[in-house]
Structure 1
Amino acid sequence: MTQLAIKPLHLRSMIPSWWPRLLAVVVAVAVVGAGAFLAVQRANALPSDAAMQVGDRTVKISELDKRVKVLGGLYNVKQPTEGAKKASFRRDAAKSMAVSLILERAAKKKDITVTRTQAQQQLDKVIESQMLGDQKTYEQFLATAGVTETEVLSEITRVIATSRLYSEITASVPEVTQAEVQSYYEDHKTEMVTPEQRAISNIVVATEAEADQVLAELGKGTAFATVARSSSRDSSTAAKGGSLGAVQASQLEDTYAKSAFAASRGKAFGPVQTSNGWNVGLVTEITEPIPVSLDQAAQTLTQTLTTQAQTKAWNKWLGRQIKAAEVEYADDYRPKDPDAPPSTPAG
């Protein structure tokens, strides 16, 4: 399935899709679960080159900038260039890094450690399974992301430590009962369906003008697969006539999904601009939503309710840690609303 129409996983388009699945999940849980901050005003002002202070740790502006750069490479976190948006982004980034430091401190207190060997072993597994052990492909990834292997290993270390911390904090959460699953099912019965799926073929080009040319060629009666093979920039699907396979709307970028799931079967739609270019699509098959029985939904609902319970326990614990932390921000980095969770990933 191509990444050119599929919703980005917060990485640059050239970065393999497996990377955020390895690194981002636990980080995202930690950040979204962040509760209130305790911003403490100290008697002594922060140094002029400092962005913030978390407990006895002073974070320099240059350190925060470096962290933003790494996040930009690994998670496609892009800093806005416009004044107000840029200022808001940097405040959120500072808050996000503060959460990261609080989690690191909590992991150390619980004697959770990740050795370089363990981090390297995890990285080696990823390179082997996703890049077939190709060191050249891995080096291309580093160059595209603009990060070093040391930074990658540090990120893996943070995520593994946070994952272990999360597991320890949520270990005492009671198991979900069958009665809870049934109750949830009955309360959400109208939602208990398999989402509509559509088999879609897609052609992605660089400009809107090129997309218009694609539509014109299709209008002459040229087969979609033929145009896809000759025109699409997506090498992973062009050879298959542009086929993305069967997808749900949630798997697609919002703008593309709206067009694809409103289109008639057999009629080309577009041009639609996504993060990877201009797209012309074709719906070849539609599978309507199908009701799901309690037995069919039970396993998924158990996992969902377990995650909800664990997240609630995690949030409660994390909120206490944040409230106990002494966080001071420089004026340019102080969040507008210190009690709100950060909007950029921490790790």
Structure 2
Amino acid sequence: MSKQIVLAALATLLTACAGDPVNGQLVITPVIFGVTVAPQATASPTPQPTPTPTPNPLAARVNGQPITLAEYQAELARYMAALPDTPAPQGEHGQRSALQFKDAALEALIEYTLIEQEAARIGIQVSDQQVADELAIAKARAGGEAKFQAWLATIRQTEADIRTLLRRELLVNAVRDHVLATMPRTAEYVHAYHIVVATEREARQVLTRLQNGAKFTALAQSLSLDESTRADGGDLGWFARHTGAVLWPEVEDAAFNLQPGETSDIVKSPIGYHIIRVTEREVRSLTEADTVHLQTVALAEWMAGLKARAQIERFV
């Protein structure tokens, strides 16, 4: 998994630099800590707390730290600028897009503020030299200073804006690495097969046939409702716990309660009645896909914990 985990605004910068910064052909999906933030339809307005009067109107406040309305509007504008065909803000398409992104833009700023506060707590800092080094890389990717400045003009950003975004990226990456530093690199895997049928009665009949010596894979090929594994005799492959490889937690739990050569009793899931057989079991290195999944879950849970402990006031 790449270490480049970005906020929504950072996605605009990094994707553009890796793509075509001169023509500004950007297709960006906002993400934070690697989790896609899908645009949500705006629900019916709910009463919002009124911020304490201040010279700078606020969009939110996180543990007492203000997020100004100007910062929020700039973040929302970056979301809008990342669209393939940037709509006019006052047009119908622009207003509709702003509604779709308004919550995501505010949430990105809130989450970054929480990350920034956590970085201060654990002593993580980003130096000016680190930012300068990243800016030099961005300019090189763009094809040099002139093309980089031209790209900035097309997305209506300044070099100071980009420095701010790069500082955010570096801080987010550093905190991310800190959060994931203790994650395991190995896990117990099982290699399992299953047969799934529509009724408990059918499952009982399958169990009886297996007990009488029928071949598991042959029954799976002729009876199983799971089209994705049926041709391979019900082979679910190797999988570890909580990696999303098996869609049904009941099946996963049953498999990890078996030793090689053992067959489960009937296991009910939303798609039917399963019989599971484990053929192999061992501790091995996490696959890349499993690592990505487990890290994504860990980061989402970490952020959820920060939010649960934080005092967050939203004013827009």
TM-score (norm 2): 0.52
Deviation of 1:11 after TM superposition, in Å, equals 5.4
Partner in structure 1 of residue 150 of structure 2: 140
Deviation of 1:131 after TM superposition, in Å, equals 4.0
SS at match of 1:150: helix
Between the two proteins, what is the percent identity of the paired residues? 18
Partner in structure 2 of residue 120 of structure 1: 132
1:309 partner letter: L
- The verdict on how the C-alpha distance between 1:46 and 1:97 changes in structure 2, with shifts beyond 3 A counting, is farther
Partner in structure 2 of residue 263 of structure 1: none
1:320 partner letter: G
- The structure 2 residue matched to 1:64, chosen from 52, 66, 72, is 72
TM-score (norm 1): 0.48
Contact 1:70-1:151 within 8 A present in 2 as well = no
Give the paired residue count.
204
Partner in structure 1 of residue 306 of structure 2: 321
SS at match of 2:186: coil
Contact 2:79-2:105 within 8 A present in 1 as well = no
- Write the distance in 2 (CA, Å) between the matches of 1:75 and 1:120: 27
Post-superposition CA distance 1:57-80 (Å, at most 9, x none): 222222211222344446769677
- Write the distance in 1 (CA, Å) between the matches of 2:96 and 2:126: 39
- The structure 2 residue matched to 1:28, chosen from 14, 22, 32, is 32
- Write the distance in 1 (CA, Å) between the matches of 2:183 and 2:191: 19
Deviation of 1:303 after TM superposition, in Å, equals 0.7
1:187 correspondence with 2:236: yes
Deviation of 1:42 after TM superposition, in Å, equals 6.9
Contact 1:11-1:76 within 8 A present in 2 as well = no
Gaps (5+ residues) in structure 2? 1-9, 22-27, 38-47, 194-228, 230-234, 239-244, 246-283
SS at match of 2:33: helix
1:94 correspondence with 2:137: no
Q: Which has the higher helix share?
A: 1
Q: Indicate the structure (1 or 2) with the bigger Cα radius of gyration.
A: 2
- The verdict on how the C-alpha distance between 1:25 and 1:303 changes in structure 2, with shifts beyond 3 A counting, is farther
Contact 1:10-1:75 within 8 A present in 2 as well = no
SS at match of 2:112: helix
- The verdict on how the C-alpha distance between 1:120 and 1:316 changes in structure 2, with shifts beyond 3 A counting, is same
- Write the distance in 2 (CA, Å) between the matches of 1:101 and 1:314: 16
- The verdict on how the C-alpha distance between 1:324 and 1:131 changes in structure 2, with shifts beyond 3 A counting, is same
Post-superposition CA distance 1:283-336 (Å, at most 9, x none): xxxxxxxxxxxxxxx99x711111112222222221110111111122xx2xxx
2:295 partner letter: Q
- The verdict on how the C-alpha distance between 1:77 and 1:110 changes in structure 2, with shifts beyond 3 A counting, is farther
Deviation of 1:96 after TM superposition, in Å, equals 2.3
Contact 2:35-2:296 within 8 A present in 1 as well = no
Post-superposition CA distance 1:3-46 (Å, at most 9, x none): xxxxxx9759x9443489xxx8995325549xxxxxxx879656
Partner in structure 1 of residue 163 of structure 2: 153
Gaps (5+ residues) in structure 1? 1-8, 34-40, 193-297, 334-347
CA RMSD of aligned residues (A): 4.3
- Write the distance in 2 (CA, Å) between the matches of 1:92 and 1:73: 14
- Write the distance in 1 (CA, Å) between the matches of 2:171 and 2:312: 22
SS at match of 1:187: strand
- The verdict on how the C-alpha distance between 1:164 and 1:42 changes in structure 2, with shifts beyond 3 A counting, is same
- The structure 2 residue matched to 1:312, chosen from 297, 301, 313, is 297
- The verdict on how the C-alpha distance between 1:44 and 1:161 changes in structure 2, with shifts beyond 3 A counting, is closer
Structure number with higher relative contact order (C-alpha < 8 Å, ≥ 6 residues apart): 1
- Write the distance in 2 (CA, Å) between the matches of 1:135 and 1:328: 41
SS at match of 1:180: strand
- The verdict on how the C-alpha distance between 1:77 and 1:318 changes in structure 2, with shifts beyond 3 A counting, is farther
SS at match of 1:172: coil
- Write the distance in 2 (CA, Å) between the matches of 1:158 and 1:118: 11
- The verdict on how the C-alpha distance between 1:43 and 1:94 changes in structure 2, with shifts beyond 3 A counting, is closer
- The verdict on how the C-alpha distance between 1:71 and 1:150 changes in structure 2, with shifts beyond 3 A counting, is farther
